[in-house]
Amino acid sequence: MAGDGKYDVIVIGSGPGGYVACLRAAELGLRAACVEKSDRVGGACLNVGCIPSKALLESSRYYTLARKRFQEHGIVLDDQVLDLPVMMARKSEVVRGLVENVRKLLENAGVALIRGTARLAGEHRVEVTRDGEKTMLEADAVVLATGGEPVPVPSLPFDGCRIVSSTEALDFDRVPEHLAVVGGGTIGLELGSVWSRLGARVTVIEMMPGIAAVADGQVSRTLERLLGRQGLEFRLRTKVTGAEVTDEQVVLTLDADGKEDRIACDRVLVAVGRKPFTGGLGLEALGIGTDPRTGHVLVDERYRTGVASIYAVGDLVPGPMLAHKASAEGIAAVECIAGLPGEVNYDTIPSVIYTSPEVAGVGLTEEQARERGLSFVAGSCPFTGSARARCIGDTDGFVKVIAHGRTGRLLGVHIIGPEASELIGECAGALERNATAEEFARVVRAHPTLSEAVRDAALIVQSSRKRG
């Protein structure tokens, strides 16, 4: 097996936490190896998560625009035919190209890519198994970056056909007539949107009183209303208590505030969250602790486990399960291994839901600021007032800026609307610099652009503070 020997760092997993950690190690002059059990690098995010879902979201958005919006622009198409196999092939090609890019990045950086399943065999040893052959590797430090896996629901066991995880929902061979989505979080809303746009009836079943629980409350309520207008049906404060599966359909038994109901559908997507994937790593044998409730690997501020030479990042450790959070932690962990002050500012990590409209946020929500007892001022600017939004015909949503009432320092920015995923970047940068609402508003944006709505929301906050 290629790559036998001694390394400075061995990283287990080639997802966004793992491969980025390897690249940073190479930049710092460390001899690095990446162990990956799959034939393809990139982890779940690249192969069966973030990237294929965004490719389908984009394709389905174009399909919706062609059917419902092109005529507004004087573009008349006689036929709008969905060729699902072509759409799926494009998605696969996007993934294939990015997988190859990651492989080349590792190769060009001099990182040894070792194929096989890894198990910790000691404080500095990793056993790799492939096709029955075992190879022992050694390193001064090991970084665990094995990512996460879908959380199952006891009443809805995955069968890969009728009751599926997000992985199978990315590869349906036909548009479901009725898709039930269990879970109103990011994954459920994004994939529900894909299949709704392509013609499926979609019912989202959520135990909580609202969808997108991590979002600002005003944003969450607005998203529910706008997605409902697009045709998604929401069954809130509802849980699934049972399922009857036949060759043709699934009949779900629901409990809504003690009232039983049943709905029939032909596919069920279970998207209630993800959990750390630690199976087979050998954590217990080395005494590496995990949270008994969540399964997260316990680490200190330097991402070290209870074994000083073994580190963990990404979905394995507490915090939002986001690819960019994993990458930041991978870099920080390797910097700590190299003796540098690696760290991650968790207060400025943005999150995005790629529905239409998009949702993006960074920093504190209004609810969180209130829970902490902070003095704050919040200001919102609707996209209906944006010249650019009117030009592109996408005026749903708003920008909300939250600032400290006394100092004016930005506490959070939350956006629902066009290109929210791109707009949130400058907002995260402003929070990282501890900018005030006034400083943020003074930045000159080009006209006409959507970013002017961000400026205007900051101006509203600043005006409110002066009046207060």
Q: What is the pLDDT of residues 72-91, one digit of tens each?
A: 999 999 888 999 999 999 99
Give the pLDDT confidence score for residue 1 in this predicted structure.
Answer: 38
Residue 364 marked ligand-binding:
no
Rounded to a whole number of angstroms, the CA Rg of the chain reads 24
User: Is 315 annotated as ligand-binding?
Assistant: yes
Q: What pLDDT shows up at residue 4?
A: 54
Q: DSSP per residue over 63-82, as a string?
A: HHHHHHTGGGGT---S----
Q: In what order do the strands lie in the sheet with 351-353?
A: 351-353, 358-363, 410-417, 398-404, 376-382
Structure tokens at 353: 């839901």
Low-confidence ranges of the chain (pLDDT < 50): 1-3
187 labeled part of a ligand binding site: yes
**Residue intervals in the chain for CATH 3.30.390.30:** 348-467
Token look-up 């529900």 returns 192
The answer to whether the annotation marks 321 as part of a ligand binding site is yes
CA distances from 208 to 183, 184, 233 (A): 9, 8, 15
Here the contacts of 59-62 (C-beta below 8 Å, separation 24 or greater) are 59/87, 59/90, 59/91, 60/87, 60/193, 60/194, 60/195, 60/197, 60/198, 61/197, 61/356
Q: What are the pLDDT digits (tens) for 92-130?
A: 999 999 999 999 999 999 999 999 999 999 999 999 999
Digit-coded pLDDT (tens) for 385-418: 999 999 999 999 999 999 999 999 999 999 999 9
Give the amino acid at 56. L
Kindly state the DSSP code that residue 189 receives in the 8-state scheme: H
Does the pTM surpass 0.85? The reply is yes
Give residue 2's pLDDT: 42
DSSP, res 409: B
Q: Where, residue-wise, is CATH 3.50.50.60 in the chain? A: 6-150+275-344, 163-272
Q: Is 88 annotated as a binding residue?
A: no
309 vs 49, 230, 272, CA distance in Å? 30, 51, 34
188 is in an annotated binding site: yes
Contact 159, 168 (CB under 8 A): no
As its CATH architecture, domain 348-467 has 2-Layer Sandwich (3.30)
| Residue 411 host element (H or E) | strand 410-417
Specify the DSSP element, H or E, that contains 218. Answer: helix 217-230
* Catalytic annotation, residues: 447
In three-state secondary structure terms, 448 is coil
Could you tell me the CATH superfamily of domain 6-150+275-344? FAD/NAD(P)-binding domain (3.50.50.60)
Please tell me the number of Cα atoms within 13 Å of 327 on its side-chain side.
Answer: 12
CATH class of the region 163-272: alpha beta
Q: List Cα–Cα distances, 59 to 56, 69, 90, 156, 194, in angstroms.
A: 5, 15, 9, 30, 9
Taking every pair of Cα atoms in the chain, the longest distance, rounded to a whole number of angstroms, is 72
Q: What is the pLDDT of residue 80?
A: 86
Instruction: Name 348's Cβ contacts closer than 8 Å, sequence gap at least 6.
Output: 362, 363, 428, 431, 432
User: Is 206 among the annotated ligand-binding positions?
Assistant: yes
415 is in an annotated binding site: no
Written as six digits, the tokens of 182 are 């269990």
> Average per-residue pLDDT in the chain?
96
Rounded Cα–Cα distance for residues 419 and 453 (Å): 12
156 is in an annotated binding site: no
- Is 190 among the annotated ligand-binding positions? yes
